[in-house]
Amino acid sequence: MISLSDVRVARENVFQVVKATPILQSAQLSNRCGNRVFLKAEHLQKTGAFKIRGAANKVKQVVGKGATFVTAASSGNHGQAVAYIAKKLGIRATIVVPDDVIQNKLAAIQAYHGGIEKCGRTPSERLRRAEQLASEGGGAVIPPYDDPLIIAGQGTIGLELLDQLDEIDIVVVPIGGGGLISGILTAIKEIKPSVKVIGVEPETANDTCISLQNGAITSISQTATVADGLRATQPGNLKLPIVQHYVDDIVLVSEEQIKDAVRFVLERMKQLIEPSSAVTVAAAIYDKIGACEKNIVCVISGGNVDLSQLAKMMV
């Protein structure tokens, strides 16, 4: 398990390339939830998602160890984050994407000057390709979540939150592979254990919830959820002990509830958040958290939504 000092070191490593994102508030959202609700706005982070925090911490380390380029297997927020950070630190990045990647995701990676390698349809095929490319010539693979430096980087959100808000009762965090919640749990529970941390998964991607019940990593069959950042089918190896040790609860939200939360935040707060982050707002709106008149922080992990996907969610 990582410790608070790892998260503090990560903050020193990344503060120059990562934005301290604002906290947003809305009376309408608070009223609808029956609590004081604050949004930690990582959708306003550079590259539009928190992934850059972990990626920056990890890429700095591998560059320090002599890597001449980095690779990653992801057409989503992780791929963009790695491309962005590599450019910032002056090294090359090759991002391995599916053969059928959608055009605007490619464009986002290319905008950060990331090289593209198309490969296959399954995540494991692409990870193998990223590893192969790295091993061919002094490169390093940057994993999306199952790595101590990635987890520590994501944990910097927890440190920032404790600086920004004096009174927090509950922090609500989305769970995909689990790097984000593991980092936030480490930071918050080691500094202020009275703050509750609740994880949220889509009902159809409840691998962490089931693994916690079973007391062991358990994979589920393929997931179909609009929250594309939360489609992991099993929790990362490093995360389960951290979540088991610290988490107060894991709750589930339905696809309709996720879409409703995207619409509510767009309509009432004029903020475009992606479904993977909207799970936290859905949990607050649909009373999954079981709190009343409390100060609740929903972590808004990102805002990258394909516009055609957005249009489908509006009806």
Ligand X SMILES: *Cc1c(COP(=O)(O)O)cnc(C)c1O
Q: Are 90 and 57 in contact (CB under 8 A)?
A: no
Which pair of structure tokens corresponds to residue 140? 């390093």
Enumerate residues 6+ apart whose C-beta is below 8 A from 159: 7, 8, 11, 187, 191
Which residues, 78 to 137, sit near ligand X by CB under 6 A? none
Which residues, 16 to 75, sit near ligand X by CB under 6 A? 49, 51
Q: What is the separation, in whole angstroms, between the first and last Cα of the chain?
A: 43
Q: Torsions phi, psi of 43, nearest 5?
A: -70, -15
Q: Give the nearest distance from C-beta 167 to ligand X in angstroms.
A: 25
Q: Are 207 and 218 in contact (CB under 8 A)?
A: yes
Q: Are 35 and 294 in contact (CB under 8 A)?
A: yes
Contact flag: residue 274 with ligand X (CB under 6 A) = yes
Q: Give the nearest distance from C-beta 273 to ligand X in angstroms.
A: 9
- Which of these segments, 10-18, 108-116, 260-268, 269-277, binds ligand X (CB under 6 A)? 269-277
Using the rule CB under 6 A, which residue among 75, 77, 156, 295 binds ligand X?
77
Q: Which is nearer to ligand X, 156 or 277 (CB)?
A: 277
Contact flag: residue 157 with ligand X (CB under 6 A) = no
Write the interaction track for ligand X spanning residues 170-189; mark x where CB under 6 A is met and - where it is not. Answer: ----xxxxxxx---------
Which residues are bridge partners to 49 per DSSP? 302
Q: Give the nearest distance from C-beta 78 to ligand X in angstroms.
A: 6
Q: Give the nearest distance from C-beta 259 to ligand X in angstroms.
A: 15
Which pair of structure tokens corresponds to residue 287? 């009373």
Q: Which is nearer to ligand X, 17 or 157 (CB)?
A: 157
Q: Give the nearest distance from C-beta 208 to ligand X in angstroms.
A: 9
Q: How many CB atoms lie within 10 A of CB 257?
A: 19
52/78 Cα distance (integer angstroms) = 7
Contact flag: residue 145 with ligand X (CB under 6 A) = yes
> In the complex, which residues of this chain contact ligand X (CB under 6 A)?
49, 51, 77, 145, 174-180, 229-230, 274, 276-277, 301-302
